[in-house]
Amino acid sequence: MAKTIPASGRTAAIPPVNEKPIVSEEYARHPRKRKLDWRQIGLAALLIGPNLLLLILFTYRPLVDNIRISFFNWNISSPTMTFVGLQNYIDWFQAPDTGRVVFNTVVFTFFAVAGSMVLGLALALLLDQKLFGRAAVRSMVFAPYVIAGAAIGVAFQFVFDPNYGLIQYFLGLLGVDVPNFYQQQNWALFMITVTYVWKNVGYVFVIYLAALQGRRRDLDEASEIDGTPAVRHFFRVVLPQLRGTTFFLLITVLLNSFQVFDIINAMTGGGPFGYGTSTMVFQVYQETFINNRAGYGAAVATIMFLVVLVITVLQIKLQERMDK
HEC per residue, the chain: CCEEEEECCEEEEECCCCCCCCCCHHHHHCCCCCCCCHHHHHHHHHHHHHHHHHHHHHHHHHHHHHHHHCCEECCCCCCCCEECCCHHHHHHHHCCCHHHHHHHHHHHHHHHHHHHHHHHHHHHHHHCCCCCCHHHHHHHHHHHHHCCHHHHHHHHHHHCCCCCCHHHHHHHHCCCCCCCCCCCHHHHHHHHHHHHHHHHHHHHHHHHHHHHHCCCHHHHHHHHHCCCCHHHHHHHHHHHHCHHHHHHHHHHHHHHHHCCCHHHHHHCCCCCCCCCCCCHHHHHHHHHHHCCCHHHHHHHHHHHHHHHHHHHHHHHHHHHHHHC
The pTM is what? 0.80
Asked, for residue 27, whether it belongs to a domain, the answer is no
Question: Cα torsion at 130, 133, 138, 144 (round to 10°)?
Answer: -160
Residue 317 lies in a domain: no
> Once rounded to an integer, what is the mean pLDDT over residues 220-239?
84
Q: Which residue has the higher pLDDT, 55 or 27?
A: 55
CA distance linking residue 201 with residue 146, whole number of Å: 11
Residue 42's pLDDT band, with cuts at 50, 70 and 90, is confident
Give me the number of domains the chain comprises.
Answer: 1
To 5 degrees, how large is the angle CA 198–CA 145–CA 316? 90
Give mean pLDDT, residues 81-91: 93
In 3D, which of 300, 268, 255 has the Cα closest to residue 281?
A: 300
Look at residue 173 and tell me if it is in a domain.
yes
Determine contact, residues 285/304, Cβ cutoff 8 Å.
no
Instruction: Find the mean pLDDT for residues 19-33.
Output: 52
What's the mean per-residue pLDDT of the chain? 85
**DSSP bridge pairs for 224:** none
Cis peptide preceding 16, ω within 30 of 0: no
Strand-strand pairing, 72-73 and 10-14: unpaired
Q: Is 280 within 8 Å of 102 (Cβ atoms)? A: yes
SS3 for 179-239 is CCCCCCHHHHHHHHHHHHHHHHHHHHHHHHHHHHHCCCHHHHHHHHHCCCCHHHHHHHHHH
- Residue 103 pLDDT > 50: yes
**How big is the CA angle at 215 (ends 210 and 216), to the nearest 5 degrees?**
160
Rounded Cα–Cα distance for residues 280 and 271 (Å): 13
Contact 279, 105 (CB under 8 A): yes
18-27, 53-62, 147-156: range with lowest mean pLDDT: 18-27
Residue 230 confidence (pLDDT): 82
Categorize the per-residue pLDDT at 192 as very low, low, confident or very high, splitting at 50, 70 and 90: very high
Contact 171, 177 (CB under 8 A): yes
Torsion 221-227-228-230 (CA) sign: positive
Q: What pLDDT does residue 27 have?
A: 47
Beta-carbon contacts of 128 under 8 Å, excluding residues fewer than 6 positions away, are: 209, 212, 213
Question: Residue 226 is part of which domain span?
Answer: 98-277
List the one residue out of 206, 181, 202 whose CA is nearest residue 276.
Answer: 181
Cα–Cα distance for residue pair 124/137, rounded to 1 Å: 11
Q: Residue 75 falls within a domain, yes or no? A: no
CATH of residue 242's domain is 1.10.3720.10
First vs last C-alpha separation in the chain: 47
Domain assignment present for residue 297? The answer is no
Q: Is residue 11 part of a domain?
A: no
* Within-domain flag for 59: no
Question: Is 88 or 77 the better-scoring residue by pLDDT?
Answer: 88
Residue 82 lies in a domain: no
Residue 17 has pLDDT above 80, yes or no: no
